[in-house]
Amino acid sequence: MHWSVYDFVNPGTERWISEPPPVTTAQAAAELSKFFVDFYGDRSVAPGQPFDIVPSSVRAAGSYRAYTMPLLTQTEREVASGAVKEIRYANVSVKLVSWDDKATEHGGLALAEVTRTAYVTRASGAEPPQTATYQFRVHRHEAKFWLVVDFFRPDVGRWVTEIAGATVIVPESGHG
């Protein structure tokens, strides 16, 4: 008979050596900063170009996806009709408010405040720049990708998950 050891608990960390190290707050903050630059880049439209909702759709899950997809579809229609000529975002900054690396059995959950300036040009001309700060709940899946799963609607003072009557913020592990 032959025995092989393939894993053991490191007494210094009290974790299995096969487990990836926990995502630190600093790592989560850095990843979220890049994520939201890309997130708003996906929602941008260059003059004369069509709007592609697919990249934005893969960054959303749960109640947030149900909330944002109709809005993105409306933007797609407005761009296709020529009513919207350009959308771009600048000065995207992210503040990590909280990070729980063990929020689910398949990844962590962050609360982030994101400030950005939107520049929109319609067929009638450029709108004044709009700088706003929004709150998002963002899930870091164990497969190392991020998904926006909730959004605080400042117009009604509630999270979209709460408005939808949902009790779960992060979908089950098969959502990715």
- CB count in 10 Å sphere of residue 118: 18
pTM as predicted: 0.86
- Measured between alpha carbons, how far is 107 from 144 in angstroms, rounded to an integer? 9
Instruction: Classify domain 21-171 by CATH architecture.
Output: Roll (3.10)
For every one of its 176 residues, what pLDDT tens digit does the chain have, with 9 covering 90 and above? Answer: 778 777 767 777 676 667 777 889 999 999 999 999 999 999 999 999 999 999 999 999 999 999 999 999 999 999 999 999 999 999 999 999 999 998 888 889 999 999 999 999 999 999 999 999 999 999 998 878 999 999 999 999 999 999 988 877 876 655 54
Please state the domain extents for the chain. Answer: 21-171
Any alpha helices (H) in 25-157, and if so which ranges?
Answer: 25-42, 54-57, 62-81
